[in-house]
Structure 1
Amino acid sequence: MQKIFFSMATSLLLLTACSTEEQADDLFNKAVEANEKIENLEVDMVINQQVSGDNIPSDVSEENSKSLDGVFPTTTTSTTKLQIEPLVLHQTIQVMGTPIEMYYSEQGLFTQKMNEDTWYKIDSDELGLLSQRMDEIRSQTPDKQLDNFKEYLDEFSYEEHEDRYVLHLNASDLNIEKLLREQLGTSMLEELFTDEMMEAIAINQLNYEITLDKSTYYVSSISTELDMTITDNGEETSISQKIDRTYTKYNELEDLKVPEEIITDAEPF
């Protein structure tokens, strides 16, 4: 009798595991398909980061670009309005309290420098910056973000709520280098994670949480928690980072375009 119960319990566990993986796979397929069809959306992002280590001064705060008790906290926020075809982006960024605004379209990349009101234009042929920027923009769309996780579906845990699906991934034991490179998405950012740098990085924790709207399968949010240690010349620097992306206003934005006065008045970068 005990063997029968054990066999039934084992079978139930196997069925549950298969069902969960199939559900996650089905959810991802539906979500990717739904998000491939979007025309425009808005993305709000908040990055909270703390850096601590032997080489961090002990008399600094974020307001004056120093740290407090050897910990340097920073907060970066951004709001991005994105039109897929033709590709148009309007982005506002707050970096340590300093605002930066940017437009991107087939007419070029228009941006402001920190603490300046002047608009500058980067021509399409300058250093390949526009093509790199375009790759970065496209890699951050919800469908491209989901594509990066398809290989790891069997590692996800899955929750169903009244109005949403929530998928969790503890990536600490996976191929961190490959996953990070996929998440970075662009050759410019990939260069930051060279083979030499990856050898100096120890990933202590890497978690993802993806929330899907239950009625549309649109991505509602993607949260990332990263804790790592970088060793350089015997000195250790610890970095703790939380990134929250919220996706809203699917197909609700009016036609995005660069304001005419910015195109007219922009100076060469």
Structure 2
Amino acid sequence: MKHKSWMIISLLFIMLVSAACSSAEGEKAKEVFAKSSEASKSLDSLAMSINMTQNISLQSPKGTDTTGSMPMNMPIKTTIDSKMQMDPIAFHQTIEIFGQTVEQYYSDRGMYMSQPGKDGWFKAPKEIVEQLNQVSAAQQTPAKQLETLQEYVDEFNLEEKEDSYILSFSSKGEDVQKLIKKTMTESMPKELLPEDLLKGLTVEKASYTLTINKDTYYPEAIESAMDFTMEMDGEKASISQEMSGTYSKFNEVGEITIPQEVIDHAKEMPGLSSLPQ
């Protein structure tokens, strides 16, 4: 299996699924959902913090466990701290995984990043930037994510707290399978989402909880849990994933620019002409 394929799936779950009965409750849920979607469209900037834990079990075609090049006997923990500007799209984020840290800048001037174990900054090839432009960061804003899930709002339950609304969703089998595949297909260009990857994806169950502020209707927090399997290149991976995230600094981030020093001293990134499949 191309091990980075499941990483693409995992990141998509982080980026795409950050939204969110008796008939009365259902109507109220629709109202909260619609107001949150509308409020999110007016955002100029925000900060996002994500914590994710994955447990992965790989099997070879003969059914024996294999670790490949990745540690499979311990949880894989990932954290992402990001600041995002909406128009024009730009972000600055730090990703920690496997005990290593990667810092990234992205804007209309390109994408620049640090690399573990290497000094200085590296500029992503033009081909990668073009692919990232297709997966526009606008697709990952709260407004777009809420819009993507709007047709599923009837399946969300609503709980009202003193300062917030909590929308929750839980599903198994074919329903959640359709939701995930539809969301991925609509949000990713075909060259980054090979057909055999989608065919080999089976989502067993998923649950999401979205907290929305009562005053601003901005999303404040999300929690999700998901079990899914991937089959590709004769190998099968079973993945159990838990994720929690918070949104903050609404319209407070300001303009995000790539430091001129980073641009001036960045080296070309060798040996990579496209995003991993």
Q: CA deviation at 1:188?
A: 6.2
One of 44, 47, 52 as aligned partner of 2:49: 44
Answer yes or no: is the 8 Å Cα contact 1:30–1:217 preserved in 2. yes
3-state secondary structure, aligned to 1:171: strand
1:132 maps to amino acid: Q
Q: CA deviation at 1:236?
A: 4.9
Q: CA deviation at 1:50?
A: 0.1
Q: After superposition, what is the alpha-carbon deviation per residue over 1:205-254, rounded to whole angstroms, capped at 9, x for unaligned?
A: 11111110111000112222110234568865321011222111101123
Q: CA deviation at 1:183?
A: 5.1
Q: After superposition, what is the alpha-carbon deviation per residue over 1:149-186, rounded to whole angstroms, capped at 9, x for unaligned?
A: 10111111110001111111113241524434415732
Change (3 A) 1:108 1:237: closer
Q: CA deviation at 1:96?
A: 1.0
Change (3 A) 1:57 1:256: same
1:130 maps to amino acid: V
Query: Counterpart in 1 of 2:119?
Result: 117
Q: CA deviation at 1:65?
A: 4.8
1:39 maps to amino acid: D
Query: Counterpart in 1 of 2:89?
Result: 87
CA distance in 2, matches of 1:75, 1:153: 30
2:132 maps to amino acid: R
Q: After superposition, what is the alpha-carbon deviation per residue over 1:24-47, rounded to whole angstroms, capped at 9, x for unaligned?
A: 111111001110001111011111
Query: Counterpart in 2 of 1:246?
Result: 246
Percentage identity across paired residues of the two chains: 29
Cα RMSD (Å):
2.6
TM-score normalised according to structure 2 size? 0.78
CA distance in 1, matches of 2:262, 2:235: 46
CA distance in 2, matches of 1:120, 1:235: 33
Answer yes or no: is the 8 Å Cα contact 1:223–1:244 preserved in 2. yes
Query: Counterpart in 1 of 2:261?
Result: 261
Query: Counterpart in 2 of 1:156?
Result: 156
Change (3 A) 1:142 1:265: same
Query: Counterpart in 2 of 1:13?
Result: none
One of 180, 183, 189 as aligned partner of 1:187: 189
3-state secondary structure, aligned to 2:264: helix
2:131 maps to amino acid: Q
Which segment drifts farther, 177-186 or 254-263? 177-186
Change (3 A) 1:85 1:120: same
Q: After superposition, what is the alpha-carbon deviation per residue over 1:31-87, rounded to whole angstroms, capped at 9, x for unaligned?
A: 0111000111101111110012445458x9xxx95343xxx4201111111011122
Answer yes or no: is the 8 Å Cα contact 2:177–2:202 preserved in 1. no
Q: Any stretches of 5+ residues in structure 2 without a counterpart?
A: 1-20, 270-277
1:262 maps to amino acid: V
CA distance in 1, matches of 2:57, 2:251: 42
3-state secondary structure, aligned to 2:258: coil
Change (3 A) 1:242 1:265: same
Higher CA-based Rg:
1
Q: Does 1:132 align with 2:134?
A: no
3-state secondary structure, aligned to 2:250: coil
Query: Counterpart in 2 of 1:106?
Result: 108
Q: Does 1:212 align with 2:217?
A: no
3-state secondary structure, aligned to 1:76: strand
Query: Counterpart in 2 of 1:172?
Result: 172
How many corresponding residue pairs?
A: 242
Q: CA deviation at 1:199?
A: 4.1
CA distance in 2, matches of 1:29, 1:189: 32
One of 76, 84, 98 as aligned partner of 2:78: 76
TM-score normalised according to structure 1 size? 0.80
Change (3 A) 1:31 1:254: same
Answer yes or no: is the 8 Å Cα contact 1:139–1:186 preserved in 2. no
